[in-house]
Amino acid sequence: MDNANTPYAVFSLAMTAYRASNEPQREKYDRMEVPNLDLRECCISLFEIVELNSENGNFDPHGDRMSVFAKVVQADNERLERFNDICAVAAYYGHINCLRFSHEIGCPWDVTTCNNAAHEGHLECLVYAHERDCPWDATTCMNAAKEGHLECIVYARSNGCLWDEQTCSMAAGSGHLEVLEYARDNGCPWDGTTCSEAAKNGQIRCLAYAHINECPWDEATCSLAAGSGYVEVLEYMYDNGCPRDKTACSMAAQYGRLDCLVFLHSTDCPWDDDTPRSAAAGGQLHCLDYAFKNGCPWTESTCSAAAEAGHVDCLIYAHQQGCSWDEATCAAAANNDQIDCLIYAHNNGCPWDQTTCRMAAGSGHLRVLMYARENNCPWDESVCAEAAKGGQIDCLVYAHNNGCPWDESTCTMAAGSGQIWILLYARQNGCPWDEMACSEASANGRIDCLVFLNRNGCPWDYRTTQRASANGHLDCLEYAWDNGCEWDSSVCTFAARRGHFDCLVYAFNNECPWDELTFSHAAAGGHIRVLEFLRENGCPWDETTCSEAAIYGRMECLMYLHSNGCPWDDSTPSSAATGGHMDCLIYARENGCEWTETTCAAAAQEGHLDCLIYAHSNGCPWDEQTYSMAASNGHLRILEYARENGCPWDETVCSEAADNGMLECLMFLHRNGCPWDVETTRSAAFSGHLDCLAYAHEQGCPWGLVYRAPTLRRAAIWIACGTRTSKDVPGTKSRAPTPRTVATSSVSSMPMKMGVHGIIQRTPMR
């Protein structure tokens, strides 16, 4: 465009004169009955840019105005940082002239510019920015909704700006009913956060509108209202059937909302020992008193919470009213330097152990540590170790000088946290060390500690190089190897798993061994660059490589592996099914990978119905294992699909459901004709699932002859009490379920667990 015809933005003479005035002159102007000039950061920054553009002969009368900003900030990061957000600041203050001028001289803008304009209701700035292609997104509508600027939302939506659930939740939370109504009338989505925000902020009109129009709410809605102290909101939700749980009472108690707590309890909202614990943690003695006097149970956690937060009045009250306490009370007080609580607890017979000293030392609370020891609190090696870990040299010196024992863990903790002065003190005073010190130093990238340890004779082993590689600390890896530390193939394997390419290259260049596990771990981690490097340099691979890519959903890696000739077998689709990665399952099958019954069983095991449907619909065989895996893991929808599509079953299916306490699955199986035998009742009894045992027996399942005696005793109590489940029987505890697993890929260096029929299942490495 011809410069002569371009309507450039300029500063007004009044603003220019005001800026040029000194402080007394500005003060005099401000006292006069004249328009407010509102000089803000955006104005000041723009004046400075103009001056910088003109000083030292920089001004170019024929230059492009859009290049002014770039010329001023060129190669000057400090200026760039100061001037980079001028457009956003101008939009925030509604300075349309500053916004125009800053845009015309090339100042950058982004979504923040539109967001600020919308948030502050400056429609003119929003229109200007949008018409000149400034980006916006759903957060723009959200910002306008939060402050109730309906005109900004209407403009944004009419010009194609996105919105999402946050628009409704922000409008509701701020009480802008007209914005909420507009949003819903025009198709804006909402979710439970709309009711939650309204409840949390006491916006009952918005909450009522949302509920009447079927916006979902849940227990969290009630809890947020209770924590914020809005009884009228709680009353509305109670009258309209909003679900609630014990968290509501806990929130009310923690934040001292006694009226809310009284209302909740009077309307039979559940509570438990977390209510007095929360009251004690928040120092809300009146809520603690109410809960106790109205029969709310409490445990040692009440005293511990009071001690940890330093609310000695709550601690005294709880103790005087008979609330129990234990070693955790003193430890909690010590950890947070709450010496008054510690003194009260100890003087009144609260037990303590070495944890008190350990917490005090690790947190650097010397006076607490001294008090505890002067009053014969026990300590052990963990005290010095915690002090070393936290770099608490004064606590460590005190402990050592007063006879506290230490061991190798002191140096290990110091090395891992980079406390070289702690290491120096410990060694000068005879503290032992071992290989774990170097291992911890390398794992955490503490190169200075590693050098100190090595130069002073601390032993090391393969774990030093392994953990340096695993955590990407190339400097530690180089130092250790260059100074004679051993390594093995795990160095390459861990580097490959976590994508530490530089560590892998260094290890390879220095002839560190690698094997198939290296490839498998790279595939599991999804590091395509690592795979390419391994392939180019001759690292071996096998079928587990594709399986690992499949189980973690590394589609790009799986495609690369197959296209480059990596072998696969039936463990690849079963691994994909285990991980629920449909894309990998489809790719493997469409590219000729064989599958077996384990694919369907794997999908059933993890509840991935979509994978099971795909596999079965495309001819994958299945057998009783599909049912067994679904039953043992409680996947009823899988059982229903398998039944509808003719999957075979046998007696083991019911026994698997009973063994893992899956009553709903057991009932479905029996009602649909699945056979059972004595193994069903035996499995239920052996695992302590009395509800499954009762159901099976009542439905005519035969008894076995061999049961665990404790289970029979519990069953006798169950019969006498007339209860239905083991959790209702006094003194009983069911064995934790042991869901069955099927074989997928297997990486030998990873943790392992045994599945049904002795099949090994890989546990993902963290």
Establish if 307 belongs to a structural domain: no
User: pTM above 0.75?
Assistant: yes
CA dihedral over 198, 202, 206, 212, signed as positive or negative? positive
How far apart CA 523 and CA 177 sit, in angstroms, is 52
Helix (H, G, I), strand (E, B) or coil at 761: strand
* Ranges assigned E (strand) in 379-503: none
What is the C-alpha end-to-end distance of the chain, expressed in Å? Answer: 60
Residue 11 reports pLDDT greater than 70: no
pLDDT in tens, 216-268: 999 999 999 999 999 999 999 999 999 999 999 999 999 999 999 999 999 99
Which pLDDT score is estimated for 37? Answer: 56
Residue 63 reports pLDDT greater than 60: no
- Tokens read off for 208: 């009522």
Which pLDDT score is estimated for 58? Answer: 58
How far apart CA 336 and CA 281 sit, in angstroms, is 13
Arithmetic mean of pLDDT, 532-552:
97
How far apart CA 697 and CA 689 sit, in angstroms, is 12
pLDDT band (50, 70, 90) for residue 734: very low
pLDDT in tens, 121-134: 999 999 999 999 99
Helix (H, G, I), strand (E, B) or coil at 299: coil
pLDDT band (50, 70, 90) for residue 530: very high
Establish if 345 belongs to a structural domain: no
Cα atoms found within 13 Å of the Cα of residue 375, Cβ hemisphere only:
22
Which pLDDT score is estimated for 731? Answer: 42
Q: Which helix (H) or strand (E) holds 655?
A: helix 651-659
| Mean pLDDT rounded to a whole number for the chain | 89
Using the structure block, give the residue that is written with the tokens 């509108």: 209
- Tokens read off for 343: 């003194």
Residue 213 reports pLDDT greater than 70: yes
Using the structure block, give the residue that is written with the tokens 């069953």: 715
Percentage of the chain beyond pLDDT 90 is 79
User: The domain spanning residue 708 has which CATH number?
Assistant: 1.25.40.20
Establish if 467 belongs to a structural domain: no
Range of the domain at 629: 623-659+661-736
- Tokens read off for 25: 């002159």
Q: Give whole-number Cα distances, 1 to 14, 519, 549, in Å.
A: 29, 59, 56
Q: Which helix (H) or strand (E) holds 131?
A: helix 123-131
Using the structure block, give the residue that is written with the tokens 């052996």: 686
Arithmetic mean of pLDDT, 112-117:
97
Establish if 316 belongs to a structural domain: no
Helix (H, G, I), strand (E, B) or coil at 75: coil
Q: Exposed, middle or buried: residue 38 (CB in 10 Å: 0-12, 13-18, 19+)?
A: exposed
Q: How many domains does the chain have?
A: 2
Which pLDDT score is estimated for 71? Answer: 67
Which pLDDT score is estimated for 106? Answer: 85
DSSP, residue by residue, 97-125 = HHHHHHHHTT----HHHHHHHHHHT-HHH
Q: Which of 83, 101, 136 is the last residue of a domain?
A: 136
Long-range contacts of 479-488 (CB under 8 A, 24+ apart): 479/447, 479/450, 479/451, 479/454, 480/438, 480/442, 480/450, 480/454, 481/510, 483/454, 485/438, 485/460, 485/461, 486/461, 486/462, 487/462, 487/512, 488/462, 488/512, 488/513
pLDDT in tens, 356-404: 999 999 999 999 999 999 999 999 999 999 999 999 999 999 999 999 9
pLDDT band (50, 70, 90) for residue 756: very low
Which pLDDT score is estimated for 751? Answer: 33
> Is the CB of residue 146 less than 8 Å from the CB of residue 173?
yes
Establish if 101 belongs to a structural domain: yes
- For residue 253, the tally of other CB atoms under 10 A from its CB is 32
> Is the CB of residue 675 less than 8 Å from the CB of residue 651?
yes
Establish if 282 belongs to a structural domain: no
pLDDT in tens, 38-56: 677 888 887 787 777 766 5
Which pLDDT score is estimated for 552? Answer: 97
* CA–CA–CA angle 462, 463, 467 (5° rounding): 125
Arithmetic mean of pLDDT, 485-500:
97
Arithmetic mean of pLDDT, 447-468:
98
- Tokens read off for 440: 């911890």
CA dihedral 572, 573, 577, 582 (to 10 degrees): 110
> Is the CB of residue 670 less than 8 Å from the CB of residue 691?
no
Phi-psi region of 688 (alpha: psi -120 to 50; beta: other; left: phi over 0): left
Percentage of the chain beyond pLDDT 70 is 84
Identify any residues that bridge with 762 across adjacent strands, giving them in sequence order: 752
Q: Which of 121, 136, 151 is the last residue of a domain?
A: 136
For helices 192-200 and 219-228, give the axis angle rounded to 10 degrees: 20
Give Cβ neighbours of residue 290 (< 8 Å, ≥ 6 apart): 258, 261, 262, 265
Which pLDDT score is estimated for 729? Answer: 42
User: Number of helices and strands (H, E) in the chain?
Assistant: 52, 2
pLDDT band (50, 70, 90) for residue 667: very high
Helix (H, G, I), strand (E, B) or coil at 762: strand
Q: Which of 68, 101, 136 is the last residue of a domain?
A: 136
Establish if 25 belongs to a structural domain: yes
How far apart CA 385 and CA 657 sit, in angstroms, is 47
How far apart CA 627 and CA 638 sit, in angstroms, is 8
Establish if 446 belongs to a structural domain: no
